[in-house]
Structure 1
């Protein structure tokens, strides 16, 4: 049971006004300055996240578009160039080709064909010279 004189009753995280706490400092309760930064993706969508006012070199140059998920940049040109280079999607075959060489693929295929022939699924003369 909560005691009626509990200090947590009727408060929530971030509330600073009227708490009367003893840990208040000079800046306690004042909002930090914030800025809106515009980012554009290759499709022309604008995303405007809010940042605490930081030095220019600490603001990220690329941000994900909120509408399509593509990379967005502050000028829109870099995002278009990045989107043209990589569409971000790879097929299963592309991932397999990254892990295995052409010779590995031939060995796997030959082994699979031998197993099928041993089970009697493939006739011996079919695809023998591969």
Structure 2
């Protein structure tokens, strides 16, 4: 026996919806993009929309283009650099030693007070 709910098992917006309820679909076109890993993505664009030259592949994230024979190359990923690596790019070993000695001297001076 049901609990007297007439809309049991349904949700807001459920039910058959045709074009008469939603309105007509805007004119659109499907564009195919190809990435270097042979993935194909085919998004739809409005008929009058500007079509982008490249598109990010939804499967691997690599850039994709409309040219199946020559897809764009995958971007070169730079390895993660630590803060110390960036500091070593800007400073020489001698500069680093001088800065460290200056910081240690300032620390020792504060401890004396």
| TM-score, with length taken from structure 1 | 0.49
Shift in CA distance, 66/104, structure 1 to aligned 2, threshold 3 Å = same
* Residue from 104, 108, 113 that aligns with 2:96: 108
For 2:48, what is the secondary structure of its paired residue? coil
Native 8 Å contact 2:56 2:62 kept in 1: yes
In the TM superposition, residue 53 of structure 1 has moved relative to its aligned partner by 1.1
Cross-structure match for 2:65? 73
- For 1:1-130, what aligned pairs fall within 5 Å after superposition? 17=20, 29-54=23-48, 58-76=50-68, 77-80=70-73, 83=74, 86-92=75-81, 96-97=85-86, 102=89, 104-106=91-93, 107-112=95-100, 114=101
In the TM superposition, residue 91 of structure 1 has moved relative to its aligned partner by 2.1
Native 8 Å contact 2:34 2:71 kept in 1: no
- Structure 2, unmatched stretches of 5+, are 1-11, 106-113
Native 8 Å contact 2:29 2:46 kept in 1: yes
| TM-score, with length taken from structure 2 | 0.55
Cross-structure match for 1:6? none
CA distance in 1, matches of 2:37, 2:56: 12
Question: Aligned residue pairs: how many?
Answer: 89
Q: Deviations over 1:29-83 (max 9, x none)?
A: 221111111111111111111111136xx20010000110011111142413xx2
CA distance in 1, matches of 2:58, 2:90: 43
